Amino acid sequence: MSDDWRSSPPAMDYSVDELMVTVLADQFHDGDQACNGMASFIPVAAFMLARATHAPELVWLASSVGLEPRPKRIPASTLEAPLWRDSVMYLEQYSDFWTYVLNGRWIGKFCVGAAQLDQYGNANNSVIGTDYHAPKVRLPGTAGLADLCSIGKQLYYWNPNHSPRSLVARVDFISGAGYLDGGDARERLGLGGGPQIVVSNLAVMDFHPDSKRMRLKSVHPGHTVEEVQAATGFELLLSEDGAPETQVPTQAQVRLIRDVIDPDGMRKRDLRRR
Amino acid sequence: MSDDWRSSPPAMDYSVDELMVTVLADQFHDGDQACNGMASFIPVAAFMLARATHAPELVWLASSVGLEPRPKRIPASTLEAPLWRDSVMYLEQYSDFWTYVLNGRWIGKFCVGAAQLDQYGNANNSVIGTDYHAPKVRLPGTAGLADLCSIGKQLYYWNPNHSPRSLVARVDFISGAGYLDGGDARERLGLGGGPQIVVSNLAVMDFHPDSKRMRLKSVHPGHTVEEVQAATGFELLLSEDGAPETQVPTQAQVRLIRDVIDPDGMRKRDLRRR
Amino acid sequence: MKDKVATLEQAVALVSDGDVVALQNMATQAAPMALVRELIRQRKRGIGLVVLVGGMAVDWLATAGVIDRLIGAAVTMEQFGLCQQYRRAVEGGRVRVEELSESLLNARLGAGARNLPFLPTRGALGTDLIALNPDNLQLIEDPFGGDTVLACRALVPDVALVHAHRADRYGNVQYEPTAIWPDIAIMPKAAKRVLVTVEEIVDTDVLRRNPDRTILPGFTVDAVVEVPYGAHPTSFFPNYGYDAVFHRRWTEVARDDARAKDFIDRYVLAPINQQEYLHAAGGAAALQRIADWEEGA
Amino acid sequence: MKDKVATLEQAVALVSDGDVVALQNMATQAAPMALVRELIRQRKRGIGLVVLVGGMAVDWLATAGVIDRLIGAAVTMEQFGLCQQYRRAVEGGRVRVEELSESLLNARLGAGARNLPFLPTRGALGTDLIALNPDNLQLIEDPFGGDTVLACRALVPDVALVHAHRADRYGNVQYEPTAIWPDIAIMPKAAKRVLVTVEEIVDTDVLRRNPDRTILPGFTVDAVVEVPYGAHPTSFFPNYGYDAVFHRRWTEVARDDARAKDFIDRYVLAPINQQEYLHAAGGAAALQRIADWEEGA
């Protein structure tokens, strides 16, 4: 595909979904094996963009089924056959996919969304409210999140609706283990991997190497540290270099996303849905 | 196929392999699911004969791979593709076959051979000699026998070489659990199923319902109780009705075996090999 | 082999009130919807539903009051959003959830399939799922001195419901090359009874052409029913895609109990057979929509 | 994806003396014989061999002194009889056997594949196999109060050797519809490194035509070597049958150490490549023999 992405100037008219795609794409490199889940248009766009630019040897396992597919463009579902068109392999779920995932040596990177994420990167997709069996909101459920979080995977959270309701001091229910109570709590339980970054519609966050508390890594152009903090349900740490502006997509990246990868704009559904 | 087997008169010129085939065939009924292993020409002939006569709805799983195959005739191997010609299903071994076998509700009957079988139906295919790591004879190994014997299967032993070396008081090594020390020893370990009969080239044996000791069920025509006892490495129990003559094949059965099922006489290899 | 051909009525009559019923499907895929509708028509009650990821079927069963508990990893209609009727039933205490991650559910069903008391996993350590479920999840030590693992107790559903591409009348079931969800690899093996709908019942000789595509041997299957488009409105590749129009029709009413019940009346209870159901769902136009999945986005 | 194409020499150079090497095969089927011959040519020593059911390969490796231990369920050439060289090596104390039943070996490898410390089975209870192997087999209680089961410790071979029908240069490996032995479903997933020979290396687009037949994703494979007839003299359906003439040629000499060594010299060490090996084994006549398997008995 295009190789002018390296020298391409910054885009002037990118939208926030495109920014989230490029930030996520930067996390995936040649030799990585990455997998998307349900309703994951932004991560799928990120994988496809990475493969089209800096990481042609990023192995993509589409929705845990299709290895190295060649979809015509991003279809209306990220968990249906049009996405895994032309796959090299259909992984049987029980014997193939879950074995490779559990093994630990393979398929190391997952993009996941969660209704609630807390300051230590614990995730909740189960219930809002304190009584599990009479919740205020019954969410979809943990699906594979509880597994991926506990078996050493590197997790890339994306959150298209940065708010005090989605980024909370403490999740109502841990359906995916982040850094638990912070510090070495995760390590003490023998769990490897863990949350790497959180890409929202306002900013990019990571986790302090010692305390494991979430900290601001960069703020998207047009937003301020104060605005991001006000939209967060707990105090965000600031990194030493303050909070630089998030690097914006290049013109070439935006062209690839709009014209080739996702001409139907499916990625915008991730923003609308929440 | 032929339906005259019901009224067919006894064969005059049957051979012992054919007798072993018909005795075994009688053990398999409509609705049973039976499976053969390696080098098992006589059991395969028995399954095919049963299906051609009294048990058309006997489900046959050929060499743990091919469901309901239609081999042209018995080929030179009972664990190769010519046997599972035209199968309805190829069972994947790890996920399909072993799951169905372990489950307990399915594939309940197995024909097995063993180098040594003792008075309580324990089987040895591992080593002859008392030092496992410096054996007198290294046998092939337990393969799936140890599993089948412990997970509630009904086992039909066939032994084409009835001798004090193959029918011993106590096996040198239990590579398949029979009735262990007899009585309720097997039951106490929670193991269901177990050895049903032993079909040899001289006689048919079963196991006493209480003591679980092997007993003579019938003696093949041309042989005597004394001869069978002399060829056995332990004292065989006698059943109450003495030891009647083993029912011989009918003419129709022999015709089916010779002309249709096994025209190449592969079943005779089981007798020669030992 | 035994003849297993049945009507939907006969097949679902094998389900008893109170049974644990495992449903093979994904969010918008491969759900045995004709069997689900028949469960509703026969007014089954007190059903415990097992799903890896359930979609519209769970919503319908909640609306109709068929289920009172769910054992599963997720319930969602993916891009069509949450299952609102299920959500309300849980929030209102009418459906109790035993939530398991995918590897935990796989382990429970895998143990059931192999007649083992439990299987271990490393999944879900550190989550709140474990404390919630001591009857079925216990941390145990490795007898060889390695790490602690989570023992997941065997789950043996009373019935598994499966939709597949084809079968013969003896219940040998075949699946075309497509996504093979975990449910299909283990649910039917774990369950005591297996009810299968297929797009087509064929002669056994058709199966013999592709023995590698047979996924269930006849001896594991209790009933097989020919129901073309039996997975509608979920997708069943390569035969047809999901019906987005019908999904949206449901999501428009699913937040309102009365309208949801009307929907069930109209699409589930009123049609007396699959043909009438498909007619109500949009007839030829609907079938055309879902046939074109390959070119559609 | 990374290019994994290698020569036999390069592939087998990834095996170190002392490694635990898992061999995918059955008694007379699908053995990666070209890799086995290369192990002998490279004079590997102290290898621990893992086989479900091993055949002539085990005999050859015993003759050449490559292996000093075996972890497996059986070693036999089926209708061609016992593996006499292996047998003598065990009886003479030169090869030590860790004998496991099939479900025990499956459990050990399955645990290795899933990074679990152990998996339980019900197999082999009551046999002498358990007392023989306390390091790897332990009876444990069910934490839910059910039956005692046998915990089988994870086995992670250093290398797995596999022969398959085709692969692309990135190591995506395909198998034709045929018997799928347990080894192929779990050995390569459990092993740290995977070396594959294939009848044919093809363009990735060929694999995309039948994605359901791909059995190993490229990221699990370390080396792929094109070796037509790479399983000879074992069978590799549907491509060719086993070579009965060649098997008998071996069984005729295998009871005699000197003649067995001569056989290895002639068929393993002397031929410098696969073509010369096939020529030594009988050339076109041999290939004709094994091509006709479908009609032969």
Asked if the Cβ–Cβ distance from B66 to C211 is below 8 Å, we say yes
Q: How far is A69 from chain C (nearest CA, A)?
A: 13
Locate the chain A residue with the closest alpha carbon to B94: A95
Q: Residues of B at the A interface (Cβ-Cβ below 8 Å)?
A: 94-95
Asked if the Cβ–Cβ distance from B150 to D125 is below 8 Å, we say yes
Q: What is the DSSP letter of C85?
A: H
Locate the chain D residue with the closest alpha carbon to B146: D124
Which one, of B99, B73, B97, lies nearest residue B86 by Cα? B73
Interface with chain A: mutation pick from B91, B93, B95, highest number of A CBs within 10 Å: B95
Coarse DSSP helix, strand, coil percentages of chain D, rounded to the nearest 5 percent: 35, 25, 40
User: Mean per-residue pLDDT for B85-113?
Assistant: 94
pLDDT, position C296: 55
What is the Cα Rg of chain D in Å? 19
Cα–Cα distance for residue pair A173/A20, rounded to 1 Å: 27
pLDDT, position D89: 98
Cα–Cα distance for residue pair A14/D271, rounded to 1 Å: 64
Task: Give residue-wise pLDDT tens across range B174-211.
Answer: 999 999 999 999 999 999 999 999 999 999 999 999 99
Cα–Cα distance for residue pair B227/B30, rounded to 1 Å: 35
pLDDT, position D295: 64
For D33-102, the DSSP string reads: HHHHHHHHHTT--SEEEEEEEE-HHHHHHHHTT-EEEEEEEEE--GGG---HHHHHHHHTTSSEEEE--H
Q: Which residues of chain C make contact with B57, given a CB cutoff of 8 A?
A: 1-2
Cα–Cα distance for residue pair D116/C123, rounded to 1 Å: 10
Task: Give residue-wise pLDDT tens across range D79-137.
Answer: 999 999 999 999 999 999 999 999 999 999 999 999 999 999 999 999 999 999 999 99
pLDDT, position D53: 96
- Domain count of chain B? 1
- Tell me, rounded to whole angstroms, the distance of Cα D169 from its chain centroid: 22
Q: What is the DSSP letter of C99?
A: E
Q: Are D140 and D151 in contact (CB under 8 A)?
A: yes
- Looking at per-residue confidence, does B273 or B250 come out higher? B250
pLDDT, position A274: 43
- Cα torsion angle, B247, B251, B254, B256, sign: negative
Cα–Cα distance for residue pair D22/D106, rounded to 1 Å: 12
Give the CATH number of the domain where residue A119 resides.
3.40.1080.10
Q: How far is B101 from chain A (nearest CA, A)?
A: 18
pLDDT, position A231: 98
For A182-222, the DSSP string reads: STTHHHHTT---EEEEEEESSEEEEE-TTT--EEEEEE-TT
C238 near D CB under 8 A: no
Cα–Cα distance for residue pair A4/A218, rounded to 1 Å: 25
Contacts of B239 (CB under 8 A, 6+ apart): B206, B215, B216, B217
Worst-scoring range by mean pLDDT, A53-62, B98-107, D179-188? Answer: D179-188
Structure tokens at D116: 């679990």
A12 near C CB under 8 A: no
pLDDT, position D249: 97
Residue D15 has pLDDT above 50, yes or no: yes
Worst-scoring range by mean pLDDT, A99-103, A268-272, C106-110, C208-212? Answer: A268-272
Which structural domains are found in chain D, ordered by start? 8-99+156-291 (3.40.1080.10), 118-153 (no CATH)
Q: Which residues of chain D make contact with A151, given a CB cutoff of 8 A?
A: 115
Q: Are A145 and C102 in contact (CB under 8 A)?
A: no
Q: How far is B102 from chain C (nearest CA, A)?
A: 5
pLDDT, position B1: 46
CB atoms within 10 A of CB D130: 18
At residue C1 the predicted structure's pLDDT band, cuts being 50, 70 and 90, is confident
B234 near D CB under 8 A: no
pLDDT, position D16: 98
pLDDT, position C142: 97
Locate the chain D residue with the closest alpha carbon to A59: D1
Cα–Cα distance for residue pair C80/C61, rounded to 1 Å: 18
Residue B272 has pLDDT above 70, yes or no: no
Q: How far is A138 from chain C (nearest CA, A)?
A: 5
Query: What ipTM score was computed for the predicted complex, to two decimals?
Result: 0.96
CA distances for D275 relative to B86, D5, D227, D270, angstroms: 34, 19, 9, 12
Structure tokens at C46: 């007190």
Across chain B, mean pLDDT equals 94
pLDDT, position D296: 55
Asked if the Cβ–Cβ distance from C116 to D121 is below 8 Å, we say yes
Locate the chain D residue with the closest alpha carbon to C179: D212
Which one, of B31, B49, B86, B78, lies nearest residue B256 by Cα? B49
Q: Are A212 and A219 in contact (CB under 8 A)?
A: no
Structure tokens at D218: 């490229």
CA distances for C24 relative to A214, B251, C38, C77, angstroms: 39, 51, 16, 15
- Buried (b) or exposed (e) across C249-284, using 16+ Cβ within 10 A? bbbebbeeeeebbebbeebbeebeebeebbeebbee
At residue D56 the predicted structure's pLDDT band, cuts being 50, 70 and 90, is very high
Asked if the Cβ–Cβ distance from D113 to A99 is below 8 Å, we say yes
Which one, of B125, B127, B129, lies nearest residue B113 by Cα? B125
Q: What is the DSSP letter of C266?
A: I
B83 near D CB under 8 A: no
What domain range includes position B154? 4-272
Q: Are D11 and D225 in contact (CB under 8 A)?
A: yes
A82 near C CB under 8 A: yes
- Region of B32 (left: φ > 0; alpha: ψ -120 to 50; beta: rest) is beta
Q: How far is C190 from chain A (nearest CA, A)?
A: 13
Across chain C, mean pLDDT equals 96
Cα–Cα distance for residue pair D152/A169, rounded to 1 Å: 43
Place of tokens 């008391």: C117
The model carries a pTM of: 0.97
User: Mean per-residue pLDDT for B250-271?
Assistant: 95
Q: How far is A94 from chain B (nearest CA, A)?
A: 9
C85 near A CB under 8 A: no
Strand, helix or coil for residue A227: helix
Q: Are A202 and A20 in contact (CB under 8 A)?
A: no
pLDDT, position A272: 65
What is the Cα Rg of chain B in Å? 18
User: Mean per-residue pLDDT for C133-160?
Assistant: 97
Task: Give residue-wise pLDDT tens across range C10-44.
Answer: 999 999 999 999 999 999 999 999 999 999 999 99
Q: Which parts of chain A sit beneath pLDDT 50?
A: 1-2, 274
Asked if the Cβ–Cβ distance from D204 to A91 is below 8 Å, we say no
Asked if the Cβ–Cβ distance from A177 to C126 is below 8 Å, we say yes
Q: Which residues of chain A make contact with B95, given a CB cutoff of 8 A?
A: 94-95
Q: What percent of chain C has pLDDT over 70?
A: 99
